[in-house]
């Protein structure tokens, strides 16, 4: 059982195309798709008219069929409003309309099941007097997202009009995005485009995949990434990537598709860390250490025209300590 998810501009409204071999009840199907919500919460949403199937109101007992077009207005999670928390933030830019923050690795962007505190939103509520509420209290100020393990530049909207303007810039691909990554394997070209339609994995909902050229899966969305090799090592590469589209896990999926998954990306590369002993046999067990324990992907740069002031913002986030540590070790032990 799977689905093609297509979130509109309002993150609380989700449209999906059902993929299922059997015909489960609608409420049970939605619980399987949105694990943050209990069956009783989903049933309340259905009873309140918040779910339609093929553009018609549906009942909880409706039997979902393959290809059904389902639209759901997700309820806010049943948890208190996120509280301000005094968490240090590296603020790269700030004015009365927006801010840019260098998100550290291992930080969830907004509260959700299992992560009700310690998120970027908790920190934002402490550091800023005003945040856009366009996406609700749980995503206050959040215009776009980074994976928990991805570090780097993230934009924050302080009021609703700026939020709408920034969202439009992302939608129209008017924001230049550049990431820095370490990859497993040596990139065989100095630069290249990776073009491959991305879809949900048929057997693992947390994963995405690149479709074969002749695959007609209607879940697939066109995706293009451009990469440049900065430095090559024996068995590894250091590169910059510029995604030209904004698909879920795009950079991670695209690099994995050409045989160079992001280093320490357990989902797409099978390895969840890089240890010193992975690079050299010269050190003993007592000297071994984890160099980087998360996917080596960093949102290095965003460039955009300020939606309210009109000036160009060129925002850069320096490489975090763990990334620098891994890079230094690669230069020392795996230089070509």
Domain boundary among 140, 172, 204: 172
Q: Same domain, yes or no, for 69 and 107?
A: no
Q: CA angle at residue 157 from 309 to 139, to 5 degrees?
A: 170
Q: CA nearest 30: which of 11, 10, 48, 45?
A: 45
Give me the tens of pLDDT residue by residue for the chain, a chain 336 residues long.
Answer: 444 444 444 566 888 888 877 888 998 888 888 766 778 788 888 988 889 999 998 898 999 998 899 999 877 666 678 899 999 999 999 999 999 999 999 999 988 767 778 999 999 999 999 999 988 888 899 999 999 999 999 999 999 999 999 999 999 999 999 999 999 999 999 999 999 999 888 777 678 899 976 666 556 889 999 999 999 999 999 999 999 998 989 999 999 999 999 999 999 999 999 999 999 998 888 999 999 999 999 999 999 999 999 999 999 999 999 999 999 999 999 998
Q: Which domain holds residue 98?
A: 90-172
Number of folded domains in the chain?
3
Q: Same domain, yes or no, for 200 and 285?
A: yes
Q: Same domain, yes or no, for 197 and 272?
A: yes
Cα R_g (the chain), whole angstroms: 21
Is residue 85 included in any domain, yes or no? no
Q: Same domain, yes or no, for 163 and 234?
A: no
147 is catalytic: yes
Active-site position among 147, 265, 278, 322 = 147
Is residue 160 included in any domain, yes or no? yes
Q: Are 290 and 259 in contact (CB under 8 A)?
A: no
Q: Same domain, yes or no, for 185 and 230?
A: yes
């Amino acid at each position: 059982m799977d689905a093609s998810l297509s979130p509109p501009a309002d993150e609380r409204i989700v449209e999906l195309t059902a993929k299922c071999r059997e015909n489960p009840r609608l409420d049970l199907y939605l619980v399987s798709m949105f694990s943050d919500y209990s069956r009783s919460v989903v049933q309340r949403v259905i009873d309140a008219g918040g779910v339609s199937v093929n553009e018609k109101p549906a009942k909880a007992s409706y039997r979902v069929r393959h290809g059904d077009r389902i639209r759901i207005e997700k309820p806010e999670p049943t948890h208190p409003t996120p509280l301000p928390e005094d968490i240090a933030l590296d603020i790269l830019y700030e004015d009365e309309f927006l801010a840019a923050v260098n998100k550290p690795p291992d930080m969830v962007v907004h509260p959700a099941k299992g992560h009700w505190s310690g998120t970027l939103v908790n920190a934002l509520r402490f550091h800023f007097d005003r945040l856009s509420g366009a996406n609700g209290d749980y995503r206050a100020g959040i215009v776009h997202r980074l994976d928990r393990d991805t570090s780097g530049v993230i934009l924050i909207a302080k009021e609703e009009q700026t939020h709408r303007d920034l969202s439009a810039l992302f939608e129209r691909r008017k924001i230049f995005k550049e990431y820095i990554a370490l990859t497993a394997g040596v990139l065989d070209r100095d630069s290249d485009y990776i073009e491959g339609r991305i879809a949900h994995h048929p057997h693992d909902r947390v994963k995405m995949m690149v479709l074969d050229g002749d695959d007609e899966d209607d879940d697939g969305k066109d995706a293009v990434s451009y990469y440049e090799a900065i430095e090559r090592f024996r068995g590894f590469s250091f590169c910059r990537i510029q995604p030209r589209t904004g698909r879920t896990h795009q950079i991670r999926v695209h690099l994995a598709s050409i045989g160079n998954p992001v280093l320490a990306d357990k989902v797409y590369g099978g390895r969840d860390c890089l240890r010193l002993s992975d690079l050299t046999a010269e050190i003993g067990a007592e000297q071994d250490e984890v160099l980087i324990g998360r996917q080596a992907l960093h949102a290095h740069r965003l460039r955009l025209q300020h939606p309210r002031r009109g000036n160009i913002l060129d925002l850069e986030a320096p490489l975090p300590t763990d990334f620098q540590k891994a890079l230094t070790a690669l230069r020392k032990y795996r230089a070509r």
